Amino acid sequence: MRMLHTMIRVGDLQRSIDFYTQILGMKLLREKDYADGKFTLAFVGYGDEKNHTVIELTHNWETNSYDLGSGFGHLAIEVDDVYAATELIRSRGGKVTRDAGPMNAGATIIAFVEDPDGYQIELLGPK
């Protein structure tokens, strides 16, 4: 068994694709419209779906926003240097919600950024 993808619903598909590709540096792996269901799926990630876990962006055509609720925490991405990644994301127009620094009650360096729909993404250095 292996983890394939995480699905998140997005209000503006192109805005989300732009964020994940242009700001976080992922690739758009595939995209397909389902006209009968009035939705589009787009898959983004850092590598092919055969060898990597990816993110499925689901856009329901008649929905512009979602209540994220209180159950979802965050996605996590490993980066070589949390400080440098945070500054790169900020320079590309990304929203940094927690600057790079030690986590609460620990020494691990983390940062948080937010995607256009409000999903939190944690940046962590290599273990």
Q: Which residues are catalytic?
A: 122
CA pair distance 83, 65, nearest whole angstrom = 31
| Amino acid, res. 69 | G
Helices (H), the chain: 13-18, 82-91
Helix (H, G, I), strand (E, B) or coil at 125: coil
**Cα 74 from Cα 112, distance rounded (Å):** 9
53: left (phi over 0), alpha (psi -120 to 50) or beta: beta
